[in-house]
Copies of this chain bind each other. A is one copy, B any other.
Amino acid sequence: MPKLVDHELRRRAIAEALWRLADREGLDAINIRAVARESGWSTGVVAHYFADKDDLLAFAFELVGAGCAGRAERARDDAPDRRTALRAMLAEALPLDDRRRLEATIWFGFLVRAAAVPRMGEVVRRRYADWTAQLAAELAATGSPDPEGAARELIALVDGLALQALSSPEGMPPEAQERLVAGAVGRLARAIDD
The chain A residues found within 8 Å of chain B, CB to CB, are 26-28, 105, 108-112, 114-116, 120-122, 124-125, 128-129, 149, 152-153, 155-161, 163-164, 166-172, 176, 179-180, 183-184, 187-188
Is the beta-carbon distance between A111 and B170 smaller than 8 angstroms? no
* CB closest chain-B residue, reference A150: B183
Is the beta-carbon distance between A112 and B164 smaller than 8 angstroms? no
The verdict on A167 contacting B115 (CB below 8 Å), with A152-B176, A159-B160 known, is: yes
Q: Chain A's interface: helix, strand, loop or mixed, by majority?
A: helix
A-B pairs with beta carbons under 8 Å apart, 22 shown: A27-B116, A105-B116, A108-B112, A109-B112, A111-B164, A111-B166, A111-B167, A115-B167, A121-B170, A121-B171, A122-B168, A124-B164, A124-B171, A153-B183, A156-B156, A156-B157, A156-B158, A156-B164, A159-B160, A159-B164, A187-B187, A187-B188
Residue numbers in B under 8 Å from A28 (CB-CB): 116
A135 to chain B, nearest CB (A): 13
